[in-house]
C-alpha cells in the first residue's frame, strides 16, 4: 500500500513522530491557533486520524496578545516507559510568565495532557532558545537539547545546538552544558530542529539548516558519546530540494523547502522520516503553508539515507506492512462536500478557547458577537479550518437575524491579524451593507461595497461563498459575484510569518458590547484539487 504526499496537507509544519507499540503518533506546530499542537495516530503511516490536541485547556496556557506566527513552535513527541512526552517552545511576550521552553506529559495521548513544566536549571534560569527535543538513552539518562543563536557566532544567523541532562524527578536541567552542533555547511543559517537517536552503539544528531524557505535542508551527524564531539556526514545535506531550482524563476520542483525532519523505527525494523515542505503554485507562493511529508530511510555504512535511490521527496511512498484491507481511519487530509460537523477537530479559534464565544449547534455553530475585530491580537469571534487544497468551493450559510445595526459578520481568508480578506454583511438601520475587503498593514482596500434594502436579503439563510481556483479567490453572496482577491497577496512569501491560510467565519460589533449572536447553519468545504 502507498502513502500519498503530503501526508498531512495544509498548514501542519515541523512534524515530530514517535511509536508506541503498534501505533505511530505525530504532532505539529500551531503558533497562535487554538487548540494547540494537534496529535495524530496511525498503525501503518498511511491512514491517519486526529485524536486530540496537546494544548487545549486555558490552565495549560493561552496566547492573548501574541502576534501571528508566534505562539507554539516546533514540538517534539517521544514515548518512554508508558509515558508520552512533548517538549515545545512558547514564543512571544518574553516578559510573560508563560514563555520559553516547556514539557508536558500524558499516559494517554488522546486524553488530557499535564500542565506545562517550564524548563529551567537548578537556579531557576530558564532554558533558552527554541526547538527543544528530549532523548532517553539506553543507560536510563534523559537529555534535553535545543537551538539558540550562537554565543560566539562566526557568521550572521549562525545558531548552536546545546545539550544538557534532565532530572525528570525535579523537572530541571542539571550538569554541564555541551554545544554539540553549529551547522553542517559554513555560512548556513539556522541549524535548528535537533533530534537525537541511538543506533547500533552510536548517537546520531538530526538537524535542519538553511532557514525555513527555499534553502531548507536535512543534515546528520554522529558520535560515540551522547555529549559529542559529533562528526557531520560528508554527504550533508542528506536531503534538500534547494538544488532543483526556484519556482519563482521558471520551472522548479513541485515541493520546496524540505527540512525539519524526525525519524521513527517501525516494529519490524524499517525506518521512516517525516519532514516539512511546501508546494508552490502561481510562482513562488505556497498558500497551503508548510505541510507534512513522509520519506523512507535506509541505513548504509552507518548512516541513514533519505529517499534512497531518489534523493528527493516522492509523490507516493510504498509501505510494505500497510494492509490494503484494513479498516480506514478518519483521515485528516480528506474534507468531503457536506456539513463539517462542529465536533470536527480541524476547527480552530485564535489564541484561546472557542468556548468563550461559540457552542456547537446541530451540524454547525452558534457564535456570540464580540467587540474584537480580526485585526486585534486577541480571541475574536472567529472559527476556521486550514486551507488544504489548491482549488475548492466553500459555502457558509449564516443566520444573521439577531445582528444589531453596526454589527458585522462574514467569511474570511486569514493569514494573520495584519493580512486577511473577507466578505461581510453589516446590518444598517434600513437594510444591509455588503463589502469585500483586503486588509493589509498599509490599510484596508475595499474591493466591493454595496447597500442592500432589507427586502433584498434573507438574513436567516445568507449564503456566503468562497471559490478558490489556485491563486484566484472569488467571494460570492447568494451566488452573485462580489469580488476576486489575488491569493498571492496573502501567502507567507508576501506577508512573512510561518502560517498557511485559514478559511472561516467571523463576527464583530466593532468595540461595542452586545448580546447578539449568529448561527453558522452550514459550512461546506468541497475540494477540487
Residues tagged active-site: 14, 192
Residue 280's closest CA among 12, 528, 29, 470? 470
* Residue pair 132/116 in contact by the 8 Å Cβ criterion: no
71, 73, 355, 433 from 36: Cα distances, Å: 9, 10, 15, 35
Q: How far apart are CA 222 and CA 231, in angstroms?
A: 5
* Residue pair 328/47 in contact by the 8 Å Cβ criterion: yes
Q: How far apart are CA 492 and CA 512, in angstroms?
A: 32
Number of Cβ within 10 Å of residue 402's Cβ equals: 17
369: which 3 cell numbers? 458577537
* Residue pair 166/190 in contact by the 8 Å Cβ criterion: no
68: which 3 cell numbers? 501571528
Residues 6+ apart with CB under 8 A from 152: none
Element (H, E) at 492: helix 492-495
Phi/psi for 492 (5° steps) reads: -60, -35
Residues 6+ apart with CB under 8 A from 284: 214, 246, 247, 248, 252, 256, 493
Longest dimension (CA), the chain: 78
221: which 3 cell numbers? 551527524
* Residue pair 260/212 in contact by the 8 Å Cβ criterion: yes
Q: Which runs of E-coded beta strand occur in 155-247?
A: 159-167, 172-181, 192-199, 202-209, 217-223, 231-232, 239-240
Amino acid at each position: 500500500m502507498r502513502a500519498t504526499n503530503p501526508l498531512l496537507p495544509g498548514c501542519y509544519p515541523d512534524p515530530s513522530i514517535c511509536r508506541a507499540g503498534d501505533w505511530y503518533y505525530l504532532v505539529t506546530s500551531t503558533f497562535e491557533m487554538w487548540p494547540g499542537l494537534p496529535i495524530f495516530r496511525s498503525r501503518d503511516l498511511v491512514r491517519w486520524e486526529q485524536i486530540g490536541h496537546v494544548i487545549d485547556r486555558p490552565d495549560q496556557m493561552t496566547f492573548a496578545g501574541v502576534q501571528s506566527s508566534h505562539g507554539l513552535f516546533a514540538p517534539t513527541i517521544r514515548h518512554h516507559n508508558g509515558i508520552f512526552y512533548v517538549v515545545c517552545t512558547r514564543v512571544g511576550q518574553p516578559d510573560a510568565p508563560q514563555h520559553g521552553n516547556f514539557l508536558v506529559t500524558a499516559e494517554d495521548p488522546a486524553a488530557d495532557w499535564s500542565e506545562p513544566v517550564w524548563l529551567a536549571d537548578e537556579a531557576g534560569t530558564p532554558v533558552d532558545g527554541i526547538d527543544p527535543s528530549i532523548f532517553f538513552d539506553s543507560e536510563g539518562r534523559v537529555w534535553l537539547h535545543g537551538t539558540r543563536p550562537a554565543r560566539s557566532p562566526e557568521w550572521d544567523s549562525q545558531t548552536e545546538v546545546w545539550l544538557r541532562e534532565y532530572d525528570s524527578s525535579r523537572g530541571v536541567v542539571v550538569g554541564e552544558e555541551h554545544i554539540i552542533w553549529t551547522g553542517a555547511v559554513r555560512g548556513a543559517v539556522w541549524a535548528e530542529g535537533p533530534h537525537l537517536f541511538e543506533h547500533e552503539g552510536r548517537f546520531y544528531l538530526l538537524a535542519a539548516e538553511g532557514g525555513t524557505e527555499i534553502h531548507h535542508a536535512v543534515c546528520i551527524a554522529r558520535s560515540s558519546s551522547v555529549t559529542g564531539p559529533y562528526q557531520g556526514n560528508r554527504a550533508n545535506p542528506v536531503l534538500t530540494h534547494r538544488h532543483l531550482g526556484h519556482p519563482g524563476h521558471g520551472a522548479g520542483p513541485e515541493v520546496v523547502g524540505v527540512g525539519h525532519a524526525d525519524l521513527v523505527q517501525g516494529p519490524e525494523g524499517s525506518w521512516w522520516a517525516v519532514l516539512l515542505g511546501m508546494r508552490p503554485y502561481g510562482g513562488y507562493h505556497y498558500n497551503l503553508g508548510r505541510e507534512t511529508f513522509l520519506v523512507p530511510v535506509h541505513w548504509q555504512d552507518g548512516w541513514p539515507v533519505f529517499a534512497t535511490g531518489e534523493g528527493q521527496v516522492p509523490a507516493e511512498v510504498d509501505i510494505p506492512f500497510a494492509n490494503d484491507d484494513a479498516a480506514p481511519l478518519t483521515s485528516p487530509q480528506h474534507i468531503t462536500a457536506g456539513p463539517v460537523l462542529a465536533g470536527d477537530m480541524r476547527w480552530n479559534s485564535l489564541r484561546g478557547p472557542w468556548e468563550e464565544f461559540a457552542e456547537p449547534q446541530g451540524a454547525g455553530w452558534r457564535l456570540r458577537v464580540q467587540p474584537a475585530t480580526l485585526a486585534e491580537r486577541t480571541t475574536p469571534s472567529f472559527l476556521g479550518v486550514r486551507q488544504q487544497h489548491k482549488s475548492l468551493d466553500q459555502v457558509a450559510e449564516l443566520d444573521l437575524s439577531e445582528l444589531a445595526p453596526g454589527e458585522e459578520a462574514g467569511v474570511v481568508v486569514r493569514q494573520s491579524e495584519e493580512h486577511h480578506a473577507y466578505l461581510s454583511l453589516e446590518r444598517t438601520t434600513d437594510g444591509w451593507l455588503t463589502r469585500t475587503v483586503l486588509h493589509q498593514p498599509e490599510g484596508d482596500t475595499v474591493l466591493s461595497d454595496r447597500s442592500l434594502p432589507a427586502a433584498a436579503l434573507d438574513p436567516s439563510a445568507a449564503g456566503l461563498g468562497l471559490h478558490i481556483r489556485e491563486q484566484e479567490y472569488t467571494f460570492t453572496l447568494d451566488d452573485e459575484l462580489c469580488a476576486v482577491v489575488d491569493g498571492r497577496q496573502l501567502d507567507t512569501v508576501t506577508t512573512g510569518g510561518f502560517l498557511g491560510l485559514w478559511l472561516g467565519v467571523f463576527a464583530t460589533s466593532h468595540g461595542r458590547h452586545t448580546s447578539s449572536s449568529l448561527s453558522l447553519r452550514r459550512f461546506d468545504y468541497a475540494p477540487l484539487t
